[in-house]
């Protein structure tokens, strides 16, 4: 690309950062927004290939959808309409990160035996872990995690003196669970950091990235990767055939606990690795006897695995490993990302090929290490099939490489020493049989591997059986106070009842919370002549003398009942007082005051279980009430209502203040704007912590009562009370683990957890933007760059509160707090079944 124009559109090219076989990467100036960007320019000879262009577009759209402060942001991309000229080449515009790579940092620290402190490593890996887990939740696997693809932002050293880590080069990413789009005959990865399943052209999952991340950790603590030396193929096969060196033999200062964590992180079997990057970081922190960062604790609390030890291998099959902690997209009402599937298995994926030859991420290309492109067949093959001569080299170091491979092997050796990768020839399925010696089975990873595999199958079978039972909807109602022998029918559910709220978000009161109840029934026979159905709410089972609430007389029409109880005159919180639902069939002539003591008149029944699990503090009812009705921590602060109503209200206030601040900027009223930004931080941080984010002496502008609890969990010791989003996540996990929870409630809790993580990510960036603005004077606030930050705050707070729809499908793309608030209320749903005594 020798004739690249110095200016492309609004971008002024300034410095060539690196060049590869498929693209060049430039530092450029966005002349409209006055900011530096990194532009990847694709070589003109690729433009004529429509398949490449479609894949380039798909890559750009997929990576641009990743919005995380520790992932390089894609700003824009362009596809040339012409195949005749280079004047407007295809290009991708990315965030420019100024600073070194983690590879350079390791070379100047660990490789010099000047190991970073344990605290520095935890601080460094926390944002990396959260960013990687976020990408996995979005259905994206990186597939080339390595130090050269982790940039250290020197402009952001708030938490890391070496620079805030930013994950780059998601160009090798693919949509999880989509049909494979890997190039037929290519293996992707970098030999020093590649996973065994990538070498074997096997199933790729989130744990593929975790393996590579584990090697990065290993290198930081020991000064070297676990496998190195020789050609690229030699290194690759070490991942499959050899045991990693005990880290303590390289760095004797490491503890046995940390050594076990590092070896677990790079276990050959994906199921023996950690389930998430957050779980890995937690295990490292615990092995180092350091506190687990609050952000990591929050991430773990919002996943179903939070109830399990992070050091336990998960007894699930390999396919299940590709399912990240979020529920299926259909459950979330979301559309899965469209994937282009090639009908021709031999079609070359030029998008990935570009990444093979390109020299890495958007910047610091001299430090980058290009991914591997080893030729393979389109079918899955054993590691020994990848390079039969390589397998021989491991057992017989002195043996010569066959002539047809010698030249490639020799060229590969020098590149491998620098962490580079090259195309490695592999016998194709059409190779002559005379050149394909029989291949012995690969040895097991460790003694007892077959026994462990059998055990996993047994455990998986038991696990599936449990899921089948749990999913059947069969559960036993707890005994009523009326009669010890009360049981329920195993008939299917006839309907549901759930609470409704009519709370004014502009008022600091919980009045109207859970004040109504909606009922829907089906397949209900008409009552007997002279009788009617009556619906009731009953008090908790441990309070049999509490007053029942008559909801009203029910009318059956064509076997169905739809009824809404409008609430009482006091607008009482019904969930705070009751936990059981009942329908009786009694005389139509006199409206009863209490349910008939004759159990033969009881027709339908449901309750929210009150059993407290062994070793736990709360029942399912307690978790639901803390979320929806009243939380003891909030009551002690004179905040009535559940956690979700206050989280929803405070996010609403933050969104309102952000819009007000935007209007203040346009009116040049920067003092008022500054006060609104402080108020936003008051609610995000909480009153006891916000002083650490605002200039000294700044008063609390938000309502002191409302700002007692922050929305984000930043530092438990300084915040005084668990943040709203963190506290909600804890009780959602309580719902998942509580006996008696229904499949509907568990699925809903998973969906809410996912939405909650999205809200948190938006608010985390709002906080970072607000901190920048709050330290500016009026002259700085008047700059266009300040408006850009403010606009970002407005966009993100709107998403955090109201969510975001997919413009093409009009389906929910990102859940906001309003939907989370509504879904939380559905956790108190009564599953109504026939009552039998």
Q: Specify binding-site residues for ATP.
A: 40
**CA–CA separation, 832 vs 607, rounded Å?**
8
Pair 255, 108: CB distance under 8 Å: no
Q: Which two tokens stand for residue 250?
A: 């390289």
Buried b (16+ CB within 10 A) or exposed e, 540-554: bbeeeeeebbbbbeb
DSSP summary character for residue 560: B
**CA–CA separation, 795 vs 781, rounded Å?**
18
Please, what is the Cα angle at 763 between 803 and 634, to 5 degrees? 95
Q: What residues contact 157, with CB distance under 8 A and at least 6 apart?
A: 163, 164
Q: How far apart are the first and last CA of the chain?
A: 83
Please, what is the Cα angle at 228 between 225 and 231, to 5 degrees? 150
User: What's the Cα-to-Cα distance from 526 to each of 136, 530, 552, 553, 560, rounded to whole Å?
Assistant: 52, 11, 16, 13, 9
**CA–CA separation, 150 vs 169, rounded Å?**
9
**Tokens 């002496």 belong to which residue?**
697
> What is the DSSP annotation of 252-287?
TTS-HHHHHHHHHHT-SSGGGS-SSHHHHHHHHHHH
DSSP summary character for residue 362: S
Buried b (16+ CB within 10 A) or exposed e, 726-749: bbbbbbbbbbbbbebbbeebbbbb
User: What's the Cα-to-Cα distance from 748 to each of 324, 650, 824, rounded to whole Å?
Assistant: 16, 23, 8
User: What's the Cα-to-Cα distance from 53 to each of 40, 56, 95, 350, rounded to whole Å?
Assistant: 14, 5, 22, 9
Residue list for the binding site: 40
Closest CA to 145 of 193, 113, 185, 182: 193
**CA–CA separation, 170 vs 60, rounded Å?**
9
**Tokens 């108020």 belong to which residue?**
679
User: Phi/psi at 802 (nearest 5 deg)?
Assistant: -100, -10
Q: Bin 235: left if φ > 0, else alpha if -120 < ψ < 50, else beta.
A: alpha
User: What's the Cα-to-Cα distance from 202 to each of 383, 470, 634, rounded to whole Å?
Assistant: 10, 32, 51
**CA–CA separation, 397 vs 390, rounded Å?**
10
**CA–CA separation, 199 vs 382, rounded Å?**
9
Q: Bin 353: left if φ > 0, else alpha if -120 < ψ < 50, else beta.
A: alpha
Pair 396, 445: CB distance under 8 Å: no
Q: What is the 3-state secondary structure (H, E, C) of 106-165?
A: HHHCHHHCCCCCHHHHHHHHHHHHHHHHHHHHCCEECCCCCHHHEEEECCCCCCCCCCEE
Pair 140, 62: CB distance under 8 Å: yes
**CA–CA separation, 69 vs 765, rounded Å?**
7
Q: What residues contact 438, with CB distance under 8 A and at least 6 apart?
A: none
Pair 257, 290: CB distance under 8 Å: no
Pair 803, 816: CB distance under 8 Å: yes
User: Phi/psi at 353 (nearest 5 deg)?
Assistant: -65, -35
Q: Which two tokens stand for residue 1?
A: 């690309």
């Amino acid at each position: 690309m020798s004739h690249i124009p110095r200016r492309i559109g609004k971008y002024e090219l300034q410095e060539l950062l690196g060049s590869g076989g498929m693209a060049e990467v430039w530092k450029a100036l966005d002349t409209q927004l006055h900011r530096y960007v990194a532009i990847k320019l694709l070589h003109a000879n690729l433009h004529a290939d429509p398949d490449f262009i479609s894949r380039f577009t798909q890559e750009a759209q997929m990576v641009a959808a990743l919005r995380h402060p520790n992932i390089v942001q894609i700003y824009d991309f362009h596809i040339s309409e012409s195949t005749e000229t280079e004047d407007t080449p295809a290009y991708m515009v990315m965030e420019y990160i100024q600073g070194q790579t983690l590879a350079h940092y390791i070379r100047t620290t660990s490789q010099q035996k000047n190991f970073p402190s344990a605290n520095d490593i935890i601080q460094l890996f926390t944002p990396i872990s959260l960013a990687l887990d976020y990408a996995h939740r979005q259905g994206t696997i990186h597939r080339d995690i390595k130090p050269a693809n982790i940039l250290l932002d020197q402009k952001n050293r708030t938490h890391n003196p070496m620079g805030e880590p930013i994950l780059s080069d998601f160009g090798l990413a693919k949509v999880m669970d989509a049909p494979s789009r890997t190039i037929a005959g290519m293996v992707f990865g970098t030999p020093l950091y590649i996973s065994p399943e990538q070498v074997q052209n096997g199933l790729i999952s989130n744990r593929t990235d975790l393996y590579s991340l584990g090697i990065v950790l290993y290198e930081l603590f020991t000064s070297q990767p676990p496998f190195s030396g020789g050609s690229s193929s030699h290194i690759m096969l070490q991942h499959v055939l050899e045991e990693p060196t005990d880290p303590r033999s390289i760095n004797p200062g490491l503890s046995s606990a940390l050594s076990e964590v590092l070896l677990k992180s790079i276990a050959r079997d994906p199921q023996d690795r950690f389930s998430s990057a957050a779980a890995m970081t937690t295990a490292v922190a615990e092995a180092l006897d350091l506190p687990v960062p609050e952000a990591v604790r929050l991430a773990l609390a919002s996943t179903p695995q939070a109830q399990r030890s992070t050091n336990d291998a998960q007894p699930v099959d390999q396919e299940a490993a590709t399912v990240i902690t979020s529920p299926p997209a259909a459950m979330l009402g979301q559309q899965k990302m469209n994937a282009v599937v090639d009908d021709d298995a031999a079609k070359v994926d030029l998008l990935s090929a570009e990444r093979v030859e390109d020299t890495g991420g958007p910047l610091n290309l001299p430090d980058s290490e290009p991914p591997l492109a080893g030729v393979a067949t389109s079918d899955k093959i054993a590691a020994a099939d990848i390079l039969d001569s390589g397998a021989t080299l491991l057992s017989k170091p002195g043996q010569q490489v066959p002539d047809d491979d010698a030249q490639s092997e020799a060229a590969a050796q020098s590149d491998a020493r620098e962490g580079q990768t090259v195309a490695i020839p592999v016998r194709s399925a059409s190779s002559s049989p005379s050149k394909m010696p029989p291949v012995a089975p690969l040895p097991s990873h460790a003694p007892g591997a077959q026994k462990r595999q059998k055990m996993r199958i047994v455990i998986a079978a038991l696990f599936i059986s449990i899921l089948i039972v749990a999913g059947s909807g069969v559960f036993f109602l707890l005994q009523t106070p009326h009669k010890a022998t009360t049981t329920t029918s195993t008939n299917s559910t006839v309907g549901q009842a759930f609470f409704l709220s009519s709370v004014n978000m502009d008022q600091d009161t919980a009045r109207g919370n859970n004040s109504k109840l909606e009922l829907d029934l089906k397949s209900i026979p008409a009552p007997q002549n002279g009788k009617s159905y009556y619906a009731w709410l009953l008090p908790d089972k441990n309070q049999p003398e509490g007053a029942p609430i008559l909801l009203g007389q029910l009318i059956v029409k064509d076997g169905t009942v739809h009824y809404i109880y409008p609430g009482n005159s006091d607008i009482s919180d019904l969930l705070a007082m009751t936990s059981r639902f009942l329908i009786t069939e009694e005389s139509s002539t006199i409206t009863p005051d209490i349910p008939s003591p004759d159990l033969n008149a009881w027709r339908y029944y449901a309750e929210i279980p009150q059993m407290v699990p062994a070793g736990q503090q709360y029942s399912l009812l307690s978790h639901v009430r803390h979320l929806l009705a009243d939380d003891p921590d909030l009551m002690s602060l004179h905040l009535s209502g559940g956690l979700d109503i206050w989280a929803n209200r405070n996010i609403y206030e933050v969104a309102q203040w952000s819009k007000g601040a935007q209007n203040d900027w346009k009116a040049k009223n920067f003092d008022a704007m500054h006060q609104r930004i402080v108020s936003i931080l008051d609610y995000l941080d909480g009153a006891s912590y916000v002083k650490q984010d605002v200039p000294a002496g700044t008063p609390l502008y938000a309502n002191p009562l409302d700002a007692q609890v922050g929305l984000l969990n930043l530092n438990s010791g300084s915040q005084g009370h668990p943040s709203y989003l963190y506290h909600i996540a804890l009780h959602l996990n309580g719902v998942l683990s509580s006996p008696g929870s229904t499949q509907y409630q568990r699925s809903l809790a998973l969906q809410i957890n996912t939405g909650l993580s999205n809200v948190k990510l938006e608010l985390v960036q709002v906080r970072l933007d607000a901190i920048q603005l709050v330290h500016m004077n009026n002259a700085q606030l008047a700059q266009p760059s300040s408006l850009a930050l403010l606009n970002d705050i407005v966009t993100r707070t709107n998403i955090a509160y109201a969510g975001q729809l997919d413009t093409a499908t009009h389906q929910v793309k990102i859940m906001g707090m309003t939907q989370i608030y509504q879904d939380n209320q559905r956790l108190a749903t009564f599953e109504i079944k026939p009552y039998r005594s």
